[in-house]
A and B are shown apart, each in its own frame.
Chain A
Amino acid sequence: MSTPAPAAGGLTIMQKRTLWAWGFLSVPILFYVVIRFYPTGNAMVLSFQEWNLLGERTWAGLENYRVLLWDPVFWQVFRNTFMYLLLGTPISLVLAFFVAYHLDQVRFMHGTIRALYFVPFMTSAVAMAWVWRWFYQDVPIGLFNNALASIGIPQIDFLDSTTNALPSILAPAIWAGLGFQIIIFMAGLRAIPRSFYEAAKIDGVSTWTVLWEITLPLLRPTIVFVVVLSSIGFLRIFDHVFNMTSANPGGPLNTTKPLVLMIYQTAFDSYDMGYAAAQTVILFLILLVVSLIQLRLLRDR
C-alpha cells in the first residue's frame, strides 16, 4: 500500500486506514490510560503520602519507606515471601520436569494420566484452600491426622505451628500449579527435533548423557519461561495464605504472611493507604528485579 491514491472526502486510502486504526484503538487507549497507567502513577505518588481514606492526602516524603525498613513485621514478611519462592519454584520445577519427562515417553493411557495431573490447575485457590485446610485439622477432624492416627503416629500440628505452617500452605500452591508446568514442559520436549535423539541413539550415547547434553540445553527457553512464571506466582501468593489462616491471617506469629497479605491488611484493615502503597511499590520492584535476574541468568549464557 505504498501508492497513496486520492479517495472520496479528500483522504488517501492510507489516511483513511490510519483513521480506522485510531478509531479501533480509541476505547482501549482510554481504558489503558484510566485503568492501568493513571492508577500506577497514583500508587507511586500515594507511596510518598499519608492517607487514611477519609481525611486529606498529606505529603510524607520518604516516611513510608523509612517506616517500612524499620518494621520487623516487614522483614518477617520479606523472609516469608522469599521462602515461598525459594521452596516453591525449585520443588515445582523438578517435580514438573520429572513427570513431564517420563509422561512424554508413556503411551498407554497417556491422555488420562496427563488429565489427572492437570485437573488441579482448573480449581479455584479459595475452594482448594478449604479442602486442604480440612485435611490439616487435628484429630478427629482432619484427614491427614486421622490417617496418621490410624497407623499409630502422633498427630502433626500443620497450620498452627511456626515451623510447619508455611510449608503446609505452600503444598497446595505447588499442587495447583504443577499441571500447568507439566503441560508446558511436555510441549517444550515435543518441540525438540527427533533427529537429535536419533543421532544420539546411533552413537550409542547413554540416556543420562542425552538428558544432560541434548534435552536440558534445548529446553532452556521453556525452563526460563516456567521459572519466571512460577517465581512471579510464588512472590504474589495470597489466596492460599489468606484462606488457610483466615482465623488468624498470616499464621502463627506472622510466620506465613506474604507481602501481598501485608499489603491487603495495611490497606483494608488499617486503612493506612500511603504505607500500603509503599509496600506495593516494593512488591513491584521485587518482581521486576527477580524476573530480570532470572532472564539474564538463564538466557544469556
Chain B
Amino acid sequence: MTTADDLTIRPSSEALLKAPAPPKRRNMGQLIRWILLFAGGILMVMPLAYMISTSLKWPWEVYEIGLIPEEPTIENYTYVLEDGRFFSWFINSTVIAAITTISALFFDSLVGYTLCKFRFRGRYIVFIAILSTLMIPTEMLVIPWYMMSQSLGWLDTYWGIMFPGLMTAFGVFLMKQFFETVPDDFLEAARIDGLNELQIWWQVAMPMVRPALAALAIFIFLGNWTAFLWPLIVTTSPELYTLPVGLSSFGDEADVAWELIMTGAAISTLPTLIFFLIFQRFIIRGVVMAGLKG
C-alpha cells in the first residue's frame, strides 16, 4: 500500500531547479526538447486563449486573427450577465455541483469507511455490488431515470438534476482504499474513550483522509459542473438549465454572435481554470491518486 505522498509526481519546481544539472554535452538536445514541449503546451492553451481574447473583443474585431484585442472591453460580460440567463445558469450549476459534491463526499466516505473498518457478514457482497455499478454506463440509466422522474414529478426540478449524483461508486472505492491507511489502533483508542461509531468515523478517521477527500471533491465537483447528458434530458425550462445545457441551447439559434458565445464559454470555463491555477499542485496530485487507485 503506497501512501499519498509516494504518489506525488514531482517535487516543486523550485526544488528541481536545485537538482544537479544534466551533463553538458546533452544541453543542445535538452534545449530542443524543452522548446518543443513548451511550444506544444502553448498550442494546448491556444483554444482557451482565443476564447478569452474573443470574449474581450468588440463585434467588429471578432474575426481578426490577432490574439490581443485592440480595445479590450468587458461589454460582452456585462451584456451576457445582465441578460440574466447566464447568471441563473451559473447559480444553478454552482448550487447543484456543490450539493451533489457534499452529499457524495459524505456518503462515499461513510460507505468506504464501513466497508473498510467493520467486519460483518455480507460486507464483501455489498462492496462488489456497489463496485459493479461502475460498469453500467449512465446512458443506460437515463431512460429509466427519466421515467422515474416523470412519474414522481421530479422532471424540471433541482432535485431531478441532482438525485443520480448523490453517491458515486468510484468514491466508495477510492475512500475504502484510503481508509486502509488509518491504523485500527486509533479507532480502538477512541472506542475506549467512549466515542460512538459515528463520532469515531467523523472525528477520528475523516480528518486522517483529508487529502483523499479533497481529491474526490475536485473530481465530483468538476464532473457535476461539466455534466451534460442528464441535465439536458431532465430540464425543460430555461431557468433551470445548468451552464452546459444553457450554452448548448444556443445551437438552435440561427444567428450566432460569436463574441457572446465565447463570453458564455468563458463564464463556464473560467471558474474551474482559476480554481486550477490556485490549487494546481493539489489537483494534479488528486488526479494521480484517483488515477492510480481507480
Contacts and interface: CB of A to CB of B under 8 A. Distances in A.
Interface of A: 1, 17-18, 20-22, 24-25, 27-29, 31-32, 35-40, 42-43, 46, 53, 99, 102-103, 105-120, 122-128, 130-132, 134-135, 140-141, 143, 146-147, 150, 172, 175, 178-180, 183-184, 186-187, 190, 225, 236, 238-239, 242-243, 246-247, 260, 263-264, 267-268, 273, 276-277, 280-281, 283-284, 287-288, 291
B217 to A, nearest CB: 14
Nearest to A288: B135
16 contacts: A20-B118, A20-B197, A36-B136, A39-B145, A99-B37, A103-B37, A105-B30, A105-B33, A107-B13, A113-B37, A127-B244, A184-B291, A187-B288, A238-B229, A243-B248, A246-B252
Contacts of A103: 37
A179 B44 contact: yes
A102 B139 contact: no
Nearest to A147: B65
A32 B167 contact: yes
Nearest to A113: B41
B47 A183 contact: no
Contact of A246 (B130, B139, B251, B262): B251
Contacts of A113: 37-38, 41
Contact of A175 (B44, B63, B111, B172): B44
A124 B275 CA distance: 14
Nearest to B280: A115
Interface string B233-275: 1000000000111011011100000100110111011001101
B41 A183 contact: no
A181 B248 CA distance: 27
Contacts of A53: 147, 150
A130 B265 contact: yes
A126 B268 contact: yes
Q: Which of A99, A112, A126 has the most CB of B within 10 A?
A: A126
B9 A186 contact: yes
B197 A284 contact: no
A99 B40 CA distance: 9
Given A17-B120, A21-B120, A135-B47, A102 B33 contact: yes
B197 to A, nearest CB: 4
Contacts of B121: 18
Contact of B47 (A43, A107, A132, A277): A132
A24 B65 contact: no
Q: Which of B42, B201, B283, B287 has the most CB of A within 10 A?
A: B287
Contacts of A135: 47, 50
A50 to B, nearest CB: 14
Given A20-B197, A116-B42, A126-B248, A108 B17 contact: yes
A22 B120 contact: yes
Nearest to A17: B118
B156 to A, nearest CB: 14
Nearest to A249: B251
